[in-house]
Amino acid sequence: MNMQDRPDQDAPLRHAINKIQNSRLGRKALLFSDYQEFKLFLNDLMNIIHTLSLSCHLPEFTNHGLEHLISIVNRISEWSGTAKSTSQFICETLSTEDAAALLIAVLIHDIGMLSQKDEDLEKPVADPKYSVNVGTPDWVRITHIPRMKNLVIRLFKDRTDYQALLLSPFMTRVFKIAKAHGSWPEDQEFKELPPHDKGLAAVLAVSDLLDEDSSRCDTETLINHRDYTQQNLGHWIRHTLTLEKVQIHFSKVVVKLGHLPNTDSSMEPVYCALRNQYRLVQLYGDALGNIGVARISPEFHPGGFPKEQVDQLSDWTAIPMIPDLESLIYILLLSFMPEATLDATKVPSDFIKKAKALDFELVDLTYLYSPVHPGVITSDVENEFYNLVS
């Protein structure tokens, strides 16, 4: 093989830099001039993320690298719906500093998923919350936010020209905004932010929650990888149930949901949880109002089979850990956060009360706690899906 025949590993990086810098959010951020080194820092940060993603040895994870970041930046850039006009792009209302802070927060919010070093933890690894006994994949998930700030600082520790920027009030804002993406508006981490930064954190959190489509994963790679866990498998397959990238246009979120071959109406609890997953964005309505962004609401439409993964998942019973439909439903329900399933054993009653006021659906969790499932079809949406898969 000559040099010209070798894969160009830097092609995704050049593509990402071009897409991110030429987006509405990127172009606005590049006008930020308070720190002359900002543009170089932005470029070097994307280079580092690319390098980390190449060296990350957890291929069973969904995508947390450049493609995920491009998707979030694009969603923010194309997001329309402000207090002044439903057709106005929200990026048009951001100051250059806000755009720069939001962009860097987007780039670093999941950087901990690409690293596995406990030295970056804000608290000692001896803290039971960060026990390594849960296994590497789960430990990385649990600690990726508490490791974010120190990881970024460590990655640039030899770059003295960036130290003033890294220790600046601007980056203090950035770290707090990025960290808050893992919090609900009622959590202390989120509540401590100034109102304006709550709005920016909400933009990031909402855009991240909506990055649910099948482009987040490569199912064939997962299935062929020996070290995946039941939880990881559930996350990957769940992403195939959203058929197209979800955008926010005119303050509306339109979600096209698909179904897997050889499944039936007993999958309805999974769809209930998935619809609730999207409804979680409504919790950030007040925070979005702090920066003049209109509340958003999701709409759901049934679709067909997931096109990209249909070959790999047409015979999903051949996948280890999924011998039957009950097993499939079980691991898919496990992949959701308890706030989406409204699991009363894990979610405070106040949260459930608020969720019901936002039209969340109660999810039948029988499969999680009992081998028997009644499969009752009740709501109009459930009937629509039942007709689709019957």
Give the model's pLDDT for residue 219.
63
Please give the structure tokens belonging to residue 3: 């040099």
pLDDT grade, residue 33 (50/70/90)?
very high
Residue 139 reports pLDDT greater than 70: yes
Please give the structure tokens belonging to residue 219: 């199912």
Return all residues near 388 (Cβ < 8 A) that are at least 6 apart.
259, 302
Which amino acid, residue 268?
E
Distance CA 356, CA 233 (A): 29
Nearest to 177 by CA among 215, 218, 148: 148
Over residues 66-91, mean pLDDT: 94
pLDDT grade, residue 375 (50/70/90)?
very low
When mean pLDDT is compared over 29-43, 111-125, 214-228, the highest value belongs to 29-43
- What 3-state DSSP class applies to 248? strand
Which amino acid, residue 374?
P
Could you write out the DSSP letters of every residue in 83-121? SS-TTSBGGGGS-HHHHHHHHHHHHHTTGGGG---GGG-
Q: Which class for 119: exposed (0-12), middle (13-18), buried (19 or more C-beta within 10 A)?
A: exposed
pLDDT grade, residue 185 (50/70/90)?
very high
With contact defined as beta carbons under 8 Å apart, do 285 and 372 qualify? no
Give the model's pLDDT for residue 228.
65
pLDDT in tens, 287-335: 999 999 999 989 998 877 666 556 677 788 877 778 889 889 999 999 8
pLDDT in tens, 40-54: 999 999 999 988 887
Give the model's pLDDT for residue 5.
57
Could you write out the DSSP letters of every residue in 289-339? HTTTBPP-EEEEEE----TTTHHHHTTGGGSTT-SSHHHHHHHHHHTS-HH
Listed range (195-199, 315-319, 342-346) with the worst mean pLDDT: 315-319
Listed range (120-129, 179-188, 262-271) with the worst mean pLDDT: 120-129
Give the model's pLDDT for residue 315.
80
The per-residue pLDDT of the chain, averaged, comes to: 85
Residue 238 reports pLDDT greater than 70: yes
Give the model's pLDDT for residue 341.
96
Over residues 358-375, mean pLDDT: 77
pLDDT grade, residue 214 (50/70/90)?
confident
Give the model's pLDDT for residue 374.
40
Over residues 10-15, mean pLDDT: 81
CA quadruple 336, 175, 18, 253: dihedral sign: positive
Give the model's pLDDT for residue 225.
59
Residue 2 reports pLDDT greater than 90: no
Give the model's pLDDT for residue 258.
87
Which has more confidence, 182 or 1? Answer: 182
Which has more confidence, 126 or 383? Answer: 126
pLDDT grade, residue 87 (50/70/90)?
very high
Distance CA 195, CA 185 (A): 11
Predicted TM-score (pTM) above 0.85: yes
Over residues 106-132, mean pLDDT: 80
Number of C-alpha atoms within 13 angstroms, CB side, residue 72?
Answer: 28
Please give the structure tokens belonging to residue 18: 């071009």
Strands (E), the chain: 248-249, 252-257, 297-302
Distance CA 352, CA 342 (A): 6
pLDDT in tens, 140-164: 788 889 999 999 999 999 999 999 9
Nearest to 178 by CA among 208, 157, 156, 136: 208
